[in-house]
Amino acid sequence: MVVFPGAKINIGLYVTDRRDDGYHNIKTLFYPLCFSDILEAVSNRDGQPGIIDLTLSGLKVEGSAETNLVVRAYRLLHERLGLPGVKAYLHKCIPTGAGLGGGSSDGASMLLILNKMFDLNLSYCDLFSMALKLGSDCPFFLDPVPSFARGRGEELVQAGVSLRGLHVLLFHPGTGISTAAAYRYVTVAKPSVPLEQMNQLSVVGWKGVIQNAFESYAFEQHPIIGYIKEELYRSGALYASMTGSGSAVYGLFDREIDIPAGISKYFTWKEFF
């Protein structure tokens, strides 16, 4: 079975308070992209139950196989239900450490594959609970539609926000941001304008109003991230922002444009909504 775990961008991202459990409460809008990895899983008839054999290709993935969310998703289901051996193949197109949710999407997609492949008949609530154990934004990727997110990112409400008719340019500067460090230095504050009121503003009106609280730290650590954002605005972006806690940056345009020369060497992806 083959699926295509997609990426997301954050439109606005605020850390509203620190929680007693070590997590943070956030407010954001998750918006899905068609940009995706490729994930295949097949039953390994020659393998032992509870054993997953993961093969990686494409962009480099940091960490051991045991920390990969595809493997962790398999382990979660096996511990609960017992599973036959599985061979999995993951081709990475979404950069890691970019704030695009690629790893979370891979993990959520693996839960969906296994549920269908082995006729586990798990409910959405069951899958949601297990996805949340993998990561705070994993539940979004079980049904990736534009959604306002609160809490750790798991309190999801479908949003009537549409980028239809716009072009997005997405850049990854080739450097990652430590999520732990980003949260350590982030400014805790509530949005000046509730994200739920975004539809009352045109996309042009988002500039300077809809913000990502992690940008200040990211720009200080890696000035190239701020430079990319500035270049996108100089090139006519209606709105530009870093996504997640970094380090990818996107710009929304009302027309197709050539990639700005000053940032053309960085990992680039285009989409027309």
Same domain, residue pair 143 and 191: no
Same domain, residue pair 44 and 131: yes
pLDDT in tens, 174-204: 888 888 888 999 989 888 888 988 878 889 9
207 is a catalytic site residue: no
147-150, strands of its sheet edge to edge: 6-18, 24-36, 147-150, 155-158
Question: What range defines the domain where residue 127 resides?
Answer: 2-157
229 is a catalytic site residue: no
Domain boundary, last residue among 110, 134, 157 = 157
One digit per residue, pLDDT tens: the chain, 273 residues? 999 999 999 999 999 998 888 789 999 999 999 999 999 999 997 879 999 999 999 999 988 889 999 999 999 999 999 999 999 999 999 999 899 999 999 999 999 999 999 999 999 999 999 999 999 999 999 999 999 999 999 999 999 899 999 999 999 998 888 888 889 999 898 888 889 888 788 899 999 999 999 999 999 999 999 999 999 999 999 999 999 998 999 999 999 999 999 999 999 999 998
Same domain, residue pair 23 and 38: yes
Q: Tell me how far apart the alpha carbons of residues 200 and 197 are, in angstroms, rounded to a whole number.
A: 5
Selected catalytic residue, list 27, 106, 137, 229: 137
Residue 151 has a pLDDT of 95
Residue 69 has a pLDDT of 98
Q: Are 40 and 49 in contact (CB under 8 A)?
A: no
Same domain, residue pair 151 and 203: no
Same domain, residue pair 195 and 69: no
Long-range Cβ contact pairs of 179-185 (< 8 A, separation 24 or more): 179/245, 181/217, 182/214, 182/217, 182/218, 182/245, 182/246, 183/15, 183/24, 183/245, 185/217
Chain-wide mean pLDDT for the chain?
94
Same domain, residue pair 111 and 37: yes
Domain boundary, last residue among 137, 157, 177 = 157
Same domain, residue pair 197 and 259: yes
Same domain, residue pair 38 and 135: yes
pLDDT in tens, 28-74: 999 999 999 999 999 997 879 999 999 999 999 988 889 999 999 99
Same domain, residue pair 133 and 20: yes
State phi, psi for 180 to the nearest 5 degrees.
-60, -45
Selected catalytic residue, list 8, 27, 92, 229: 8
CATH of the domain at 251: 3.30.70.890
